[in-house]
Structure 1
Amino acid sequence: MLANESLLEASQYLQEMQRYWWPFCRIMALATTAPVLGHKSLPKRARVLLVLALTLALSTALPRPPQLDALSAAGILAAIEQIAVGALLGLTLQLVFVIFSVVGEIVSTQMGMSMARYNDPVNGVSSSSVVGQLYFLLIALLFLASDGHLLAVSVIYQSFVYWPVGSGLSYAGFATFIYAMAWVLSAATLLSLPLVFALFLVQFCFGLLNRISPAMNLFSLGFPMAILASLACIHLTLPELPENYLHLSRELLDNLGHLLREASHG
């Protein structure tokens, strides 16, 4: 009799632990792909401890998950579902950072700073440009200053309300994320267009000077002037960076809300 009671209590404990298992899978996938939280500079142990703390804090307020055996086929599919949903939400939150990373790459290519990265025998093309790192640091500071980490927690909670455990994967939600990539490219193009046009004018003027005076060494004079003009343009556009970030973040939240509503309707 005692053995049966102990087995019953153990099964109850396992059922209660599953209440934390499904949120842990989704939050861990989101924290791995989300901005700042998923950066490689954050230690993995710190990320796991942070996810555990969020799971314990949110699990009591979340809708109760269905009774599934975690080791069964349905339980494994539910775990894969939570990982996919968390990764999708994390990548969606990453889109604003991707926009400014693309802007940094475009500007760095135009000013000639990316050649040092391509000729680096150690890092090669895997390392990001200096301008891209500058934009990433500024956007990361704006992300933390505008309580973006708290917004990510709110997104996690709302995802369990609109996309509960066991509801399946919604094609409409993933299609919304794919369509958002066009928004990323268009926003990056609009942000980098003034800088690219200004640098094009500088390089066009030096091309005219080279045609007028062929004896002029364009490489020794043009590259430093292009870098100085690029730094001046970046300096002039930096005051508008917070406003652009907030505007893009609002559009991102609208897209994210549309994604969750599409997922809730299946």
Structure 2
Amino acid sequence: MTTAPIFELSQLLRDAQAYWWPFCRLLALLSMAPLFNHKSVSIRVRVLLALVLTFALGKMLPVPPEIEPLSLKGIMTTFEQIIFGVILGLMLQLVFTIFMLVGEVISGQMGMSMARYNDPTNGVSSSSIIYQLYFILLVFLFFSIDCHLLIISVFYQSFIHWPVGGGLHYLGIEAFLRGIAWTFSAAVLISLPIVFCMALVQFCFGLLNRISPAMNLFSLGFPITILVGLLCIYLTLPNMPHSYLHLTRELLDTIGLALQGA
């Protein structure tokens, strides 16, 4: 009779392991995933959402090996789940990073680098006004194609290909590094037409400065450069949903290769 409660407690701790490892990975994933990592989403909301999703998906995930949570192996396994979640979250964040780089490049070409959005009340860090325009559109596109459900699907698939206690894999880290390089190349390709138009406008004003040095090009060139930049953004915005879908498919293919490579 005296050993029954102790036995039940040990059995309860073993059953809790099936939820502890997914909770660590999911919380790290939500801390890095797009929109969920925004500072307007408090830490309490992320923890509560991670708990709800963990209890909803815990029984459907593969059965983890029996590892003592307080042992050295258990602590290393916990860090392993956190690293897996961080890698997946950063990879899912790459599409938003692409448009952040595009906004920064376009702002620099338009001469609006000094126009920053800063909201100290909500704790939002400063970013360019052009990126805020892209960010608002990305939020609508994110929910319109059910990317919040894709994040849960990626989380579930990660436990199939990256099981608990499986250790870190070189191919997954290599795919993440390739994804970073792909981010810069995609940002260059998206911003290249606008950058070319802005460079052409600045080149024309440079020629006018050589022809008529007395003309005040600073008071004339700056507003025209902004107007041409806004016109280029207006002409390229209809292609943004197609670009977002294409980049999302490429990103999911990259994540799939990283998971299957493990």
How many Å separate the matches in 2 of 1:144 and 1:42? 16
Question: Given the alignment of the two structures, is residue 250 of structure 1 paired with residue 249 of structure 2, yes or no?
Answer: yes
Counterpart position of 1:140 = 139
C-alpha distance after superposition, 1:142-179 (max 9, x if no partner): 11111000000000000001111011110111011101
C-alpha distance after superposition, 1:228-263 (max 9, x if no partner): 100000000000000000001111111010000112
C-alpha distance after superposition, 1:100-141 (max 9, x if no partner): 1110000000001112449x9x9xxx6211001111221122
Structure 1 window deviating more from structure 2 (127-136 vs 149-158): it is 127-136
C-alpha distance after superposition, 1:26-64 (max 9, x if no partner): 000000000011111112111111111110111010001
How many Å separate the matches in 2 of 1:116 and 1:97? 20
The gaps in structure 2 that reach 5 residues or longer are none
Counterpart position of 2:167 = 168
Question: Given the alignment of the two structures, is residue 231 of structure 1 paired with residue 230 of structure 2, yes or no?
Answer: yes
**TM-score using structure 2 length:** 0.95
How many Å separate the matches in 1 of 2:133 and 2:258? 31
- Offset at 1:3? 2.4
**Counterpart of 1:69 in 2: which secondary structure?**
coil
How many Å separate the matches in 2 of 1:143 and 1:116? 26
How many Å separate the matches in 1 of 2:217 and 2:128? 24
Matched to 1:175, the amino acid is E
Counterpart position of 1:12 = 11
| CA contact 2:115–2:129 (8 Å) conserved in 1 | no
| CA contact 2:22–2:58 (8 Å) conserved in 1 | yes
How many Å separate the matches in 1 of 2:55 and 2:149? 16
How many Å separate the matches in 2 of 1:36 and 1:83? 19
Matched to 1:250, the amino acid is R
How many Å separate the matches in 2 of 1:182 and 1:44? 30
Matched to 2:59, the amino acid is T
Counterpart position of 2:75 = 76
Matched to 2:111, the amino acid is G
How many Å separate the matches in 2 of 1:142 and 1:179? 25
| CA contact 2:29–2:89 (8 Å) conserved in 1 | yes
**Counterpart of 1:3 in 2: which secondary structure?**
coil
Listed as ranges, the matches of 1:79-94 within 5 Å are: 79-94=78-93
| CA contact 2:26–2:155 (8 Å) conserved in 1 | yes
How many Å separate the matches in 2 of 1:117 and 1:180? 28
Counterpart position of 1:3 = 2
Identity %: 59
**Counterpart of 2:168 in 1: which secondary structure?**
coil
C-alpha distance after superposition, 1:174-207 (max 9, x if no partner): 0111011111111111100000000111111111
Counterpart position of 1:207 = 206
How many Å separate the matches in 2 of 1:3 and 1:90? 47
Counterpart position of 2:102 = 103
The gaps in structure 1 that reach 5 residues or longer are none
Matched to 1:169, the amino acid is L
Counterpart position of 1:149 = 148
Where in structure 1 do 4 or more consecutive aligned residues deviate above 2 Å? Answer: 115-118
How many Å separate the matches in 2 of 1:93 and 1:241? 18
Counterpart position of 1:216 = 215
How many Å separate the matches in 1 of 2:112 and 2:219? 15
How many Å separate the matches in 2 of 1:93 and 1:112? 30
Matched to 1:86, the amino acid is G
